[in-house]
Structure 1
Amino acid sequence: MEYVSLGSTGTKVSPLCFGTWRFGHESDGTLETDRDTAHELLDAFAERGGNFIDTANGYGGGLSEEWIGDWLAERDREDFVIASKVYWTMESPVSENLSRKTIRAEIEGTLDRLGTDYLDVYYIHRWDDETPIEETLSTLNGLVEEGRVNYLGASSMAAWKLTKALWRSDVHDWERFEVTQPKFNAAHRDEVAEYLEVCADQDLAVCPWSPLEEGFLTGKYERDGESPAGSRGDRYSWTDRFDDRQWRTLDAVRAVAEEEGATPAQVALRWLMDRTAFTCVPIVGARSVEQLDENVDAVDVSLSDDQRDRITAAYDEHDR
C-alpha cells in the first residue's frame, strides 16, 4: 500500500482511513461493534498496511477511544496516525461547545482513553457559534505548541466559516486547519462544493465521511426495492430518499465496476482517491473483516479518465 501526503503536511498516511464510529455504539439496543471485533478489525487494517485511524471523544460514549488505546498499547504508537475530535463533551458537565475550558478538559480525556501523549490530528467536530473563534483557535494552537497535537482539522461546516477560521489563524500566526472532514462522495457533491473549493485553494487534505453515501454506493439497493435488513437505510424510504442524479451516479458506478471486475464500493472509493484538486483520503467503516477487505482492495483498482468522467457526469447531468 503506497502512502500519500496528508495535504500540505509532511505526514504520510494510507490512502484510506479507518473510521471507528461503530465501536461501542448501540443502535436500537444492539451493539454495532464489540471490543473483540473492534480489535480484529484494527488488526486486519494494520496487516493490510493501513496506518490512519479516525475516532472521536463521543464515539461509543468514549469506548471507541478506549478500545483503540487498548489495541495501541501492544504496538508501536509511532506506526500510526491517530485522529480524534472535540465538540460534544465527555469530561465537562456543559453539553457541547469549543470553549477553552471544554477543549482543555476533553483533550485530557481523549489522550487518557487512547493511552497516548499526543494526537496526530485533532478535529473540531462542529462549528461553535457561541464561542468566539479566536478563543477556540488560540486554545487549539496552544495544544500544538505543547506537543499534544500535531495538526488541526475541521469537520462539517459552511465554506465561509472554514475560510474565516483560516484567515483568523493567518492573522494571528496560529496553527491553521490542515485536514478537513466533510460528507463527500460521488453521489453527494453540491452541498459541499464551495467547501471543497476552499480546501483545493488552501491545499487542505480532505478525509470524507460517508464515502459510500451510507451504503447507497455499494450497489446493494434498487430504485424499487427495499433496503436490506440491518442496513442504515431501514429507517428511510429508499426510493424517496435519493434523487434521479444519484441513481444515475450509482448506475455509472455499477457499469464501471463491471468493466473492471471490481465492486461498486471499490469504484466509488477509487473515484474519491483519484481527486486531483486536493489529497482525498476516504474514511471507511466496516462491520466485518470481509467488508474491510473489500474496501481496502479499492487501492488496487485503476480507473481511466473516461471512467472517472462518466461517474462525474452522471451526477452533473441535469434532470430530464
Structure 2
Amino acid sequence: MEYTTLGSTGTTVSELCFGTWRFGRETNGVVETDREEAHELLDAAWDRGINFIDTANVYGTPNGKSERFIGEWLEDHDRDDFVLASKVYFPFDGWGEPGPNDSGLGRKHIRRQIEGTLDRLGTDYLDLYYIHRWDDDAPIEETLRTLNDLVREGKVHHLGASTMAAWQLTKALWTSDVEGLERFKVTQPLFHAAYRDDVVDYLDVCADQDLAVCPYSPLAGGFLTGKYERTDDGVEAPEDSRGAIDPQFDEYYVSARGWEVLDEIRAVADELDATPAQVALRWLIEQEKFTCVPIVGARTTEQLDENAGATTVSLSADQHDRIAEARYDEEGRRWGHRE
C-alpha cells in the first residue's frame, strides 16, 4: 500500500479509504454487512495497509450501528494507527424517533452527535469530521464556530465537507477566513470517471484551495467494475449486485456517457493486465490538481483485494486522457444520460 498526505492537513493516509456505509444496514429486512462480516472486512483492509476508515453517525439500522461495529473492532487494535472520519447532518434515529433538533448543523445537534459518535467508536477524538450536507436553516457561521470549538477541545483534528454546491463550499471557506475559524481541509463529493463535468466547479474550488478530495461511489455503485453489460432493454446485472436489487441504480448510474467511459476503461485494463475497477480507481488516485483518495465500499474480501490492487497500477498520460475524453463524442459534445 502506498500512502499520501491528505491535502494540507499533514495527516498521512493510505491511497484508498475504506467506506463502511453498508455496516449494519438493513435492506428489505436483510442486514447487508453484519458485525462478523464487518470485522472481517476491517481486518482485511488493515492487513492490506489501509489505515483510513470512513463512516457516519447515520450509517446502520438503526443509525449508529456502523460506528459501533468499528468501535468494537478497534478495541483489539491501537486506535492511533488509524485515521477515522465520521459525519453529521442527517436525522439520527439511533436514540429512537428523531426529535426537532436531531438533524441539521445547528450547535445543539452537532454537540450531541459528536459525543455519540465518539462513544460508539470508543475514542477521544476524530481525525476528520465532515458536514454530511449543507444546511440551509443553520447559519454557516454557527456551524463553523461549533466545529472550530471541537477542534480547539481536541475532539476533532480536521474538518471536512461532503456534497454541496461550489458556491456553498466557497462561502464556508470565506467565512472561516474572515472570522478566523478552522477551515474545511477535505471534501467528499460524488466523483468518478463518468461523473466529473457535473461537479467540475466544486473540484476547481478544491484545487484552488488545496483541499483533498475523497470521492464516494468512485466506481459508480459498481457500474465501472465492468460486471454489467449493455442490453437492448438497458443493463444486465449479476444476481445480488446493486444493479439487481436497487431500483434506482439504472437511473442514477447507467448512462450513455457511462458506457462510453466504461468501454475505454476496459480497453486500458486489457492493456495493463488489470481489472476495470483498478483502472477506474487509479484514474482518480492520479488526479494532478488535488490529492484524491477514493472511498471503496467493498462487500467481500475478494473485492477489497481487487480494489487494493489499484495502488500497484500506473496509467500513462495517454491512458488517463483517453478515459477523460471518452465522456465526449467526436464533435466534442458530452454524452448525456441517454443516447
After TM superposition, the score normalised by the length of structure 2 is: 0.92
User: Structure 1, residues 108-135: CA drift from partner, whole Å, max 9, x if none?
Assistant: 0000000000000000001000011110
- Give the corresponding residue for 1:244: 256
Q: Look up the SS of the partner of 2:172 in the other structure.
A: helix
Greater mean alpha carbon deviation, residues 243-252 or residues 132-141: 243-252
User: Structure 1, residues 125-181: CA drift from partner, whole Å, max 9, x if none?
Assistant: 010000111100000000000000000000000000000000000001100000000
* 1:134 is the counterpart of 2:146: no
Write the distance in 2 (CA, Å) between the matches of 1:281 and 1:41: 19
Write the distance in 2 (CA, Å) between the matches of 1:168 and 1:316: 37
Q: Look up the SS of the partner of 2:181 in the other structure.
A: coil
- Give the corresponding residue for 1:291: 303
- Give the corresponding residue for 2:161: 154
Letter in 1 for 2:168: K
- Of 219, 227, 248 in structure 1, the residue corresponding to residue 226 of structure 2 is 219
Write the distance in 2 (CA, Å) between the matches of 1:245 and 1:153: 30
Write the distance in 1 (CA, Å) between the matches of 2:283 and 2:328: 15
What does 1:259-274 correspond to in 2, within 5 Å? 259-274=271-286
What does 1:96-135 correspond to in 2, within 5 Å? 96-135=103-142
Write the distance in 1 (CA, Å) between the matches of 2:99 and 2:256: 45
Q: Look up the SS of the partner of 1:139 in the other structure.
A: helix
Q: Look up the SS of the partner of 1:198 in the other structure.
A: helix
Write the distance in 2 (CA, Å) between the matches of 1:233 and 1:193: 26
The alpha carbon displacement at 1:223 in A equals: 1.6
In structure 1, list runs of 5 or more residues that go unmatched. none
What does 1:277-316 correspond to in 2, within 5 Å? 277-316=289-328
The alpha carbon displacement at 1:238 in A equals: 3.8
- Give the corresponding residue for 1:87: 89
- Of 196, 213, 228 in structure 2, the residue corresponding to residue 206 of structure 1 is 213
- Of 203, 219, 235 in structure 2, the residue corresponding to residue 196 of structure 1 is 203
User: Structure 1, residues 159-210: CA drift from partner, whole Å, max 9, x if none?
Assistant: 0000000000000110000000000000111221100000000000000000
- Distance change in 2, residues 1:254/1:211 (3 Å): same
Identity %: 65
Q: What count of residue pairs does the alignment treat as equivalent?
A: 320
The alpha carbon displacement at 1:222 in A equals: 1.5
- Of 65, 73, 76 in structure 1, the residue corresponding to residue 67 of structure 2 is 65
The alpha carbon displacement at 1:242 in A equals: 2.9
Write the distance in 1 (CA, Å) between the matches of 2:19 and 2:193: 19
Write the distance in 1 (CA, Å) between the matches of 2:108 and 2:249: 42
Write the distance in 2 (CA, Å) between the matches of 1:314 and 1:79: 40
After superposition, the CA RMSD in angstroms is: 1.5
Q: Look up the SS of the partner of 1:215 in the other structure.
A: helix
Write the distance in 2 (CA, Å) between the matches of 1:281 and 1:177: 16
Q: Look up the SS of the partner of 1:18 in the other structure.
A: strand
Write the distance in 2 (CA, Å) between the matches of 1:74 and 1:126: 33
Q: Look up the SS of the partner of 1:223 in the other structure.
A: strand
- Give the corresponding residue for 1:12: 12
Greater mean alpha carbon deviation, residues 224-233 or residues 195-204: 224-233
- Give the corresponding residue for 1:39: 39
The alpha carbon displacement at 1:241 in A equals: 5.9
- Give the corresponding residue for 2:51: 51
- Give the corresponding residue for 2:243: 233
The alpha carbon displacement at 1:237 in A equals: 7.3
Greater mean alpha carbon deviation, residues 91-100 or residues 243-252: 91-100
- Distance change in 2, residues 1:6/1:237 (3 Å): closer
Write the distance in 1 (CA, Å) between the matches of 2:320 and 2:264: 9
- Distance change in 2, residues 1:55/1:239 (3 Å): closer
Write the distance in 2 (CA, Å) between the matches of 1:262 and 1:67: 33
After TM superposition, the score normalised by the length of structure 1 is: 0.97
Greater mean alpha carbon deviation, residues 137-146 or residues 70-79: 70-79
- Give the corresponding residue for 1:175: 182
Write the distance in 2 (CA, Å) between the matches of 1:135 and 1:239: 37
